Each structure stands twice: as structure tokens, then as C-alpha cells.
Chains A and B, each alone.
Chain A
Amino acid sequence: MSGFDTLLAQSTAPRAEQARALGLPTPRVERWKYVPTRTLARTAWVAPTQRDTDTFALSGGQFLNIPTVDGLTEVQSGLTESERLRLDAMATAHGFSLTQDALNGHQLILEVGASASVTLTLEHLANLSLEAGFATLVIRVGSNASLSLIETFEAEAASETNLDSLRMLVSVARDGRVNHLKFQAANAGQLIFHAVDVDLSENAQYTLDTIDFGSKMARSDILITLSGRHANTDVRGLALCNGSQYHDTHLAIDHAVGETTSAMMFRNMVDDKGEATFNGRVLIRKDAQKSATEQSVANLLLSERARVNPKPELEIYADDVTASHGCTVGSLNKAELFYLKSRGIAEADARAFLQYAFAEEVVERVAHPQIREQIETRLLGELTHGELIAELKDALDV
């Protein structure tokens, strides 16, 4: 049983029946162990509608205003065989991924031409109450091309339950590069499901900054496959959970060939009754010699009832690799607090300083200045005593 039964019953998609039969994953499905499925299961989800806008947006499972810029083409000829296989793997993981597949609205395929340089800003519009929108975006980045992909979320004040699901397939050809920035500050009623599958050819690069502040719950499944030599990826993430928010990122990096490098840095800051899950898995295959990976995961717990479920995993089958990893869970550092307080900074302000500092490790690396500014403003708003830092920034930053 799931809240999608009615929609699935109406669907003629090949996997609709299977999705309905299987229902939502239970906690026995390891990857879904901590996901609160109550709202998913109990909401009587309805088909989405689209809102009006002028910019490139995802609204109710449809992409609107597909940009026409130099170097970017919308492909009409459908998926390649390998894309189809990757999407199949994504779709058949469990009952919910089948649902995502069966209820998919729009599948958009975009191609960035060889040596082109394109910036795409996609805004996720808030869906209406009880609406569940599902979409798929396939992006091919040509050789030596560069794509800057920015995803933002409309932070409507409305807090009615709604669902936004986006599956993304990204294939980067030789020497291509993708900088992906996702700033999720969605409305408090939204459930967000993001699945990203990236494949990197020789000397291709993919960086991801993923910032999760908003929504009721957000789940990201990210798979990055380094399939060409000298491919490299760098993923940085920050999730803030306040109230009873749940944020969950499952990140897997697959070093399929040698001389590939990866780095992941993830920070969870959890307050109130919030909960964060982070699963970071790095696989270095037998033939992926001379690969290197760095993993840094830190979790900051700010209340008694806050919970984190961190799980860093390193699976290494090659013998000539460099791997470093670290995972910490803790509360604010006492020595740092004392230092600030000994300078006359009040306890509440000192705590805000340190929370800000924890988040800044990720935020300060966001390359896009305007979005970084938005992230910082929102971050300071989320902190219980962020006003002092906001004032200092205003007064002292040039």
C-alpha cells in the first residue's frame, strides 16, 4: 500500500503495476532504513499541475521554458542504449524508484555541444498541495565542453504537503566538465527526491555542491562513476535539519578505472528533533590502480533529540591507491566555546559563531557568488542567534 496507489492504477506505464504491487520500501531495505515513509504512504497523492513562469523551471513534473542558448540543444531522438540501462538500474532499485519511473511526467534530454560553455539555472517551483511531480533530466556534455548547472528551489511560505522528484542522468565526454550546484531551500511541506547518476569519461570532471536547508524531507541518491582515466569528482554537501526535518544523502563514487580521483566532504547540522542520514560509499575496483579518494564527514548535534546516521564506506580492491577518511559526530567544541566566551562573546552568540563556522567549511567553497550569498543569508536566518554574524558580515565584508 502506498499513497500513490490511485495514481499508479490510472497509469499505463510499464512499471506501474509492479510499483503498486511492491509498495514503498520497508525499513528492511538497507538504503531506506531511516527514511520516514509515513507521509509518503498516507498522503492521497494527486496528479500535478503546472504553474506559470518565465524562466527554466520544473513545475509539476514538467520542464518549462527550455532554454535556447548557444551550445545547448534539446535532443528528440530518445535515450542511448547505455542511458537506458542506467535509467533502468535507477528505476528498479525498490518500490519507490519504480513509482518514480511509472509516474514520470517529462523526460528532457539536453546536449551541450563539444567545446561549448553553458550555464543552466533550473528552478524547482513549489507544487500545489498533495501534488506529486516526477521528472527526468538527461544531460550529455560533449568533449571539452563545460556546463554550470544550478538548481534552486522556490521557497514558498505555503507548507502543504507536496512532492518533487527529479532523476538526472549526466554523461560527460572526454575533457568535459560539469559544476553542479543545488541549493535546496524548499517549502516546509515538500518531500524531495533527487537521484543523480553521473558518468565521467577520460579527464572529465564533475563537482557538486549540495546544500539542503528546506523541505520536510529530502532524499538524494547520487552515483558518480569514474569510467575514464584522470576523471575526477569533488562532492561537498551541507544539510541543516531543524524542527522535525529529515535529510538523507546516499552518495556512491565508483572508481571503475585507474588514475581517477574523488573527494567528498559532507556536513550535517541537526537541531531540535531533526534527523540526518549520510551514506558515503567509495568503491575502488581491482583495476583502478593509482586512484585516490578523500572522505570527510562531520555531524554536529545541537539538541538531545537530534539524530544522525552517518555511514562512510570504503571498498578498495586495488592495492596501489591513496585513501583517507574521517567521520565525526559531536556537539560544539568546548575549547572553542570557551575561547569565544573569554573574549566577552555571550554564550548564545558564541554557539551561533561555531554553528556558522561548521557550515562555512562547505559554504565558503561555493563558487557562485550570488548563490553563496543567498546560502549564507538563509544559513544565518536558520541559526537561533545568527543576527550578530549577519550584522558583522554587513558591516565588514566588502
Chain B
Amino acid sequence: MSDLARVDTRRAGTTQLVRITGELDLSNARELTDAVGHAVPDDVTLVVVDLSGTTYLDSGGIAAFFRLSQRLRDRRQDLRLVVPDASPIRAVVELTRLSQVIPVDQSAPDLSGQMAYAALPPDSAPDRSQPPATTDAPDPGAPDMSDPEGDQRNG
């Protein structure tokens, strides 16, 4: 049921940010992560899947992320997950020791910093510390991403 979850992707430099809102279960986890894997361009080096807006995740979803991780590793791309401490899925993530295979962060990365870092050639990093949004960030829609959804679920 693809109605269950929504996926937004955004690219910043060599980083692909994927935000999954909704629920991941047996019915959609596999196809969803497969779609993410397909959608990531080859020149991306890091894929960050933000699960801050994910309200449900079961073992099928965990398996799907292992699969995605393996796939990206084959392409020399790294995968990181974002699961806040207060997330409803935190328990599942910990119980399955997902973090031993895929790095799990508390919060979404500082996109602008990463972009700046990613945009800099390794040698000339100190010289260019200021051009964050000019070259590689075409859409200044970043504030949307930190806005947690699901307010309607608070009874």
C-alpha cells in the first residue's frame, strides 16, 4: 500500500537526502527501499534516509534497509539513517541492532555544512568556506525537512 508512506528526496552536493514519512511494513518496505536505491544517482557518495517522520517500522522494514545498505555498498555509496530518540520506531531499531550495520544518527545532518564540505575539493577546503547555496543547492526548501509531521495523530 503505497498510501502508507511518502518519500521526498533532495540532493545536496554528493549527498542524497531521502525523507520517508508514514509507515513502513510488509506491504511497502521492500518496494520503497528498492525505489530509493534506483533513484540514487551514481555520483552520490552518501545517502541519508531520514526516518524522523516514520511512525511505524517492522522487521520487514529493517530487512529492507539491510538490503538497501548492501546494494549501496556495492556501488561505493554510504548509507546513514536518522532516527530520533523519541521516535516510535526507536525500540525496533535498537532491538535489531541495526546501528551495527548502518550508522544511525539522532537527527538529520546539517545539510548546508555537508554541502559545503562536499562541494570543496579536498585540497582547497580552507579557501572556500562561504559558497553554500550558490552552486549545488538549487532549491532552498530545506526548512520543510525538519518540520515533523503527524500532528493530527495526537489525541
Do A and B originate from a single complex? Answer: no
Binding site for A on B (CB under 8 A): none
Binding site for B on A (CB under 8 A): none
